[in-house]
Chain A
Amino acid sequence: MNIDKKITDDLVANDVSFVTTVPCKQLAGVIEEIDQRSEIFHIPSNKEDEGMGLCAGAFMGGKRSAIIMQNTAIGVTINTLATLTQFYRMPLPMIISYRGELREPVACQVEMAVHTKALLAQMHIPTYHFHWQDDVREFDNILKYTFMCNKPVAILTDANFWGGYGDQ
């Protein structure tokens, strides 16, 4: 299974046509796939809270939107999630690379990894964790759930899910 393609296919099938991204090494493939798809308008943002603002505007303009970012960005976006996305009740699928988990080569990444689920839980953000490639089968359901309940929803995708870092 090509998980980059599966994620993109599910986004398209669920009518998500506006995607903003801030890259992570693990996300390179899915960002490239999204960039190539004519059904999706891809707009890179410079910071993830900015991206959530773009998504909020696009949503109010009638387009389903999503953000692709690294888990470190949870530390950047708490205020925006609370005072914009949640306060105004807007749906936002967040495809998040979960750095600092098993098979992580960079020690610093662990420092935000240990806070990631606690912060999401404190924010009452529904959170899913993809560890095996097969877990991606749930993605379509998660998107439907997100647009049903009008909430930000987190999909954490760790290094094992993306296939690790090779020999690093």
Chain B
Amino acid sequence: MIRSEILKEIAPIIRDHLVVCNIGLPSQELHMIDDQPTNFYMLGTMGLSSSIGFGLALAQSKSVISIDGDGSVLTNLGTLPTIANNATGNFTLLIIDNGSYGSTGDQPTYAGKKTSLTAVARACGCDTVIEVQDKDLGPVLQAAIDSDEMTIIVCKCDSGNIKLPVITMDPVVIKHRFMEAVKA
């Protein structure tokens, strides 16, 4: 499965939760598949999906899912020790690991080669790290959201993209709508 197929499959699972979505195609795809006020779309700032989602999870009690990419986690590897050492049960980090920088044309990342983000996350001190194949993600994600344990999911999948438009919503509107949903 490719990322857009995964997002289609998990959309009903994440719909009612706070979601921080990675820059580029992941946000464009989620926006097209199931736009929700509870979605925070990153329009830039590669690497910070996990940090933004984690800050949000620490600041309030609702469940938060950060949808991240392998390339973006590699660029902000320092995030994993921070998350591990300040764990909060309402946070789930979903790394869609397609082994490539998908949004920029599927250039390979080291996560698709010798580097295991699952092993990295464990070595950083994350207690619950689950590596899962794309087709098995749904139940694993649902269980992670339902549990009181902070969970890092590394979802292995194929690289590949669909054609779709950029998000034209103004960033301040995205933020405002999201903050209202957080408070609701």
Q: Which residues from chain B contact A87 at a C-beta distance below 8 Å?
A: 43-44, 171
Q: Mark B26-62, 1 if CB is under 8 A from A, else 0.
A: 0000000000000010111101101111111111100
Question: How far is the CB of B1 from the nearest CB of chain A, in Å?
Answer: 28
B residues less than 8 Å from A43 (CB atoms): 58, 82, 86
Across-interface contacts of A58 in B (CB, < 8 A): 55-56, 58-59
Other than the known A58-B59, A87-B171, what 16 A-B pairs have Cβ atoms closer than 8 Å?
A41-B58, A43-B86, A44-B82, A49-B45, A50-B79, A54-B51, A54-B82, A57-B55, A57-B57, A57-B58, A58-B58, A61-B60, A62-B60, A62-B182, A80-B48, A89-B175
Task: Provide the bound-state CA to CA distance between A46 and B55, in Å.
Answer: 14
Q: Do A46 and B58 touch across chains, with their CB atoms under 8 A apart?
A: no
> Footprint of A on B, CB under 8 Å?
20, 40, 42-45, 47-48, 50-60, 76, 78-79, 81-82, 86, 171-172, 174-175, 178-179, 182-183
A60 contacts partner chain B, Cβ-Cβ < 8 Å: yes
A46 touches B182 (CB 8 A): no
Q: Are A83 and B43 in contact (CB under 8 A)?
A: yes
Cβ A53 vs Cβ B45 within 8 A: yes
Give B90 Cβ to nearest chain A Cβ, in Å. 10
Q: Could you tell me if B45 and A83 are in contact, using CB atoms closer than 8 angstroms?
A: yes
Q: Is the interface of B mostly helix, strand, loop or mixed?
A: helix
Alpha-carbon distance between A59 and B51 when the two chains are bound, in angstroms: 12
In angstroms, Cα B183 to Cα A63, docked, is 12
- Chain B residues with CB under 8 Å of A14's CB are none
How many whole Å from B143's CB to the nearest CB in chain A? 24
The 9 closest A-B pairs by CB, nearest first: A57-B55, A61-B59, A53-B51, A46-B78, A83-B44, A53-B48, A57-B56, A54-B55, A58-B55
How many Å from the CB of B140 to the closest CB on chain A?
24
The distance from the CB of A115 to the nearest CB of chain B, in whole angstroms, is 22
Which partner residue on chain B sits nearest A82 by CB separation? B44
Which of B45, B54, B86 is the one whose CB lies under 8 Å from A84?
Answer: B45
- Could you list which residues of chain A lie within 8 angstroms of chain B, going by C-beta atoms? 18, 41, 43-47, 49-63, 65, 79-80, 82-84, 87-90
Contacting pair A53 B58 (CB below 8 A): no
10 examples of A-B residue contacts, CB within 8 angstroms? A44-B82, A46-B78, A47-B78, A50-B79, A54-B82, A57-B56, A61-B182, A62-B182, A79-B45, A84-B45
Q: What's the Cα separation between A143 and B79 when bound, in Å?
A: 27
Q: Within 8 Å CB of A51, what residues of B? A: 51
Min Cβ gap B83→A in Å is: 10
When distances are taken between beta carbons in the complex, the residues of chain B under 8 Å from A59 are 55, 59
Q: Are B171 and A60 in contact (CB under 8 A)?
A: no
User: For residue B53, which residues in chain A have a CB less than 8 angstroms away from its CB?
Assistant: 57
Q: When the two chains form their complex, are residues A56 and B52 in contact, meaning their CB atoms are under 8 A apart?
A: yes
Q: Which residues of B contact A60 (CB under 8 A)?
A: 40, 52, 55-56, 59, 175, 178-179, 182
Nearest to B181 among chain A residues (CB) is A60
